[in-house]
C-alpha cells in the first residue's frame, strides 16, 4: 500500500511537470484599418491578441508589424502566443 502511494505521488509530480513542457509558442496575426495609422495598428494588435486568447493562450511579444496607405491605412501584426 505504501508503494502505491509513492507511485501515485510520483505520477502526480510527473504529470504537473510534463503539463508545463507541452506549452507551445505559435504565431498569430491580426489586421486592422482606419483613417489614422495609429488606430489601424491598434486594431491590428487587438485582433492578434483576440486570436491568441481565443486559443487559450497568452500573448508574448509582437514580432512584426506593417502599416500601408491605401484609401485607408491598413495594418498587419504578427505576435508570438504561448498556448497550453
pLDDT value of position 5 = 46
Domain spanning 23-83 has what CATH number? 3.10.28
Domain boundaries, the chain: 23-83
Distance CA 19, CA 38 (A): 39
Distance CA 81, CA 40 (A): 21
pTM, full prediction: 0.71
pLDDT in tens, 16-73: 554 555 789 999 999 999 999 999 999 999 999 999 999 999 999 999 999 999 889 9
pLDDT value of position 70 = 86
B/e letters for 29-64, b = 16+ CB within 10 Å, e = fewer, are ebebebeebeebbebbbebbbebbeeeebebeebee
pLDDT value of position 1 = 42
Total H helices, total E strands in the chain = 2, 3
Amino acid at each position: 500500500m505504501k508503494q502505491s502511494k509513492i507511485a501515485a505521488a510520483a505520477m502526480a509530480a510527473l504529470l504537473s511537470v510534463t503539463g508545463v513542457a507541452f506549452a507551445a509558442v505559435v504565431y498569430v496575426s491580426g489586421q486592422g484599418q482606419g483613417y489614422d495609422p495609429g488606430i489601424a495598428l491598434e486594431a491590428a494588435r487587438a485582433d492578434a491578441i483576440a486570436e491568441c486568447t481565443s486559443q487559450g493562450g497568452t500573448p508574448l511579444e509582437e514580432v512584426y508589424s506593417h502599416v500601408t496607405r491605401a484609401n485607408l491605412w491598413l495594418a498587419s501584426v504578427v505576435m508570438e502566443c504561448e498556448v497550453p
